């Protein structure tokens, strides 16, 4: 079943294309690997990800979006997108015991900032 890659709504209506990108932490790469920060988001070349300690987070370049998320993306409204997604997450997903609302908001800001940094297309049909 298809769902919105941003808020998990079960009714995506559009897709967006991004560069294929990897987000990682120091634990996921070789010790001498340069990590490049862009607006506090750590990027690394995908061939530098350590084969044993981690895979990093390699992101598929096609993102599905529901109507509310697509409208917020079209407006480049990062704060609105985060607020919408947080509201949907509260309804459909219980927070893990070790995560606070602030942690979830930080996580969304981190990923959706990277999404906007790597966005290559306007809204595309499914």
Going by DSSP bridges, is the β-strand pair 62-65/124-125 parallel, antiparallel, or unpaired? unpaired
User: Which pLDDT value is given to residue 27?
Assistant: 66
pTM metric for this prediction? 0.79
Q: State mean pLDDT over 39-64.
A: 65
54 has a pLDDT exceeding 60: no
Secondary structure class of 73 (helix, strand, coil): helix
pLDDT digits (tens, 9 = 90+) for 82-107: 999 999 987 777 888 888 889 889 88
Of residues 71 and 61, more confidently modeled: 71
Residue length, the chain? Answer: 126
Give Dmax (Cα) for the chain. Answer: 43
Q: State mean pLDDT over 47-69.
A: 71
Going by DSSP bridges, is the β-strand pair 21-23/14-17 parallel, antiparallel, or unpaired? unpaired
> Is residue 93 left, alpha or beta, with left meaning phi > 0 and alpha meaning psi from -120 to 50?
beta
**For the chain, domain boundaries:** 1-19+60-126, 21-49
Q: For residue 70, how many other CB atoms are within 10 A of its CB? A: 21
């Amino acid at each position: 079943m298809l769902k919105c890659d941003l808020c998990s709504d079960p009714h995506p209506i559009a897709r967006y294309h991004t560069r294929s990108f990897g987000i990682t932490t120091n634990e996921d790469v070789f010790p001498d690997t340069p990590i490049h920060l862009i607006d506090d988001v750590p990027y690394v070349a995908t061939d530098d990800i350590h084969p044993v300690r981690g895979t990093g987070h390699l992101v598929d370049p096609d993102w599905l979006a529901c109507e509310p998320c697509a409208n917020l993306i079209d407006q480049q409204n990062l704060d609105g997108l985060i607020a919408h997604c947080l509201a949907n997450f509260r309804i459909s997903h219980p927070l893990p015991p070790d995560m606070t609302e602030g942690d979830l908001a930080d996580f969304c800001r981190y990923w959706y900032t990277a999404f906007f940094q790597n966005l290559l297309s306007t809204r595309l049909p499914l």
